[in-house]
Structure 1
Amino acid sequence: MTAMTLPEITPYTSADHDWLVEAHGRLYAAENGFDASFPVVVDAVLRDFETAHDPTCERGWILRDGARRLGSIFCVREDDRTARLRLFLLEPEARGTGQGRRLLETCMGFARGHGYRQIVLGTHESHRAACALYARNGFACTRSTPIRNYGQALVEQVWERPL
Structure 2
Amino acid sequence: MSDEVILRGYGSGDFDWLVDLHGRHYAEAEGFDATFAPLVASILRDFEAQHDPAYERGWVAERNGARLGSIFCVKLDHRTAKLRLFILAPEARGIGLGKRMLETCTGFARACRYDSMQLWTHESHKAACALYRANGWHCTSSKPVHSFGVDLVEQAWEVTL
TM-score bucket of the superposed structures, by smaller chain: over 0.9
Q: 2:155 aligns with which of 131, 154, 157?
A: 157
- 1:114 maps to what in 2? 112
Return 5+ residue gaps in structure 1 as ranges.
none
For residue 121 of structure 1, give the secondary structure of its aligned residue in structure 2.
strand
Deviations 1:99-135 (A, max 9, x none): 0001000100000000101010000000000000000
Deviations 1:37-90 (A, max 9, x none): 000000000000000111110000000012110000000001111000000000
Amino acid at match of 1:79: D
- 2:81 maps to what in 1? 83
Measure how far apart 1:34 and its partner are: 0.3
Distance between the aligned counterparts of 2:57 and 2:104, measured in 1?
10
Quick one: percent identity of the two aligned structures? 56
- 2:46 maps to what in 1? 48
- 1:26 maps to what in 2? 24
- Checking the alignment, whether the CA contact within 8 Å between 2:3 and 2:64 is kept in structure 1 is no
- 1:127 maps to what in 2? 125
Distance between the aligned counterparts of 2:90 and 2:75, measured in 1?
28
Return 5+ residue gaps in structure 2 as ranges.
none
Distance between the aligned counterparts of 1:127 and 1:43, measured in 2?
21
After TM superposition, the runs of 4+ consecutive aligned structure 1 residues lying more than 4 A away are: none
Distance between the aligned counterparts of 2:105 and 2:137, measured in 1?
13
Deviations 1:11-33 (A, max 9, x none): 00000000000000000000010
Measure how far apart 1:5 and its partner are: 2.5
- 1:144 maps to what in 2? 142
Deviations 1:116-160 (A, max 9, x none): 010100000000000000000000001001100000000000010
Distance between the aligned counterparts of 1:142 and 1:70, measured in 2?
29
Normalized against structure 2, the TM-score is what? 0.98
- 1:58 maps to what in 2? 56
Amino acid at match of 1:85: L
